[in-house]
Amino acid sequence: MKAKLLAEMKDAMKAKNKIRVDTIRGILSAIQYELMEKKVEELNPEQSLAIVQREIKKRREEVDFANQAKRTDLIEKLNQEIATLEEFLPKQLSTAELEKIILGLKETQPGINMSGAMKVLKDTYAGQYDGKAASDIAKRVLG
């Protein structure tokens, strides 16, 4: 993923897209920090995806605060950053697809609880869904 990010940053620099460059630099910085923390040379794909998802979550929280403060200029910038970050995630499952998967789990494993369903989702569909949406659906479907 690091090589893809570097190539994308180079393209963004050529296009003089400051927000995109800054966003990709931020991700590369977060990856570098994680490498130093774990004292490894390379992160596995799941770890890289987790970093991207964490950065998206941070920005979504910032959007909520910006909405409360009525900072439309900041909201627009953050939404552009989120769109850039989402490009580095695998195709996301829709709400309907998540619900279908959770209903399927309920049928195949009648005694499954919410934490069990979330574990299966995490193991099988890592990086492909919004955790909050999945949690809400699991609560509703599994009770």
What are 25-83's pLDDT values in tens digits? 999 999 999 999 999 999 988 899 889 999 999 999 999 999 999 999 999 999 999 99
Look at the chain and report how many structural domains it folds into: 2
* DSSP state letter for 143: -
State mean pLDDT over 105-130: 88
Residue-number span of the structural domain to which 47 is assigned: 2-86
φ, ψ at 119 (rounded to 5°): -65, -45
| pLDDT in the model for residue 55 | 95
Whether residues 119 and 59 fall in one domain: no
3-state secondary structure of 27: helix
Q: Which of 68, 86, 104 is the last residue of a domain?
A: 86
Whether residues 51 and 110 fall in one domain: no
Are 1 and 48 in contact by the 8 Å Cβ rule? The answer is yes
Whether residues 11 and 46 fall in one domain: yes
Q: What CA–CA distance (Å, rounded) separates 37 from 136?
A: 33
Whether residues 69 and 107 fall in one domain: no
Tracing tokens 């003089």 back to the chain, one arrives at 16
Q: Read off the amino acid at residue 141.
A: V
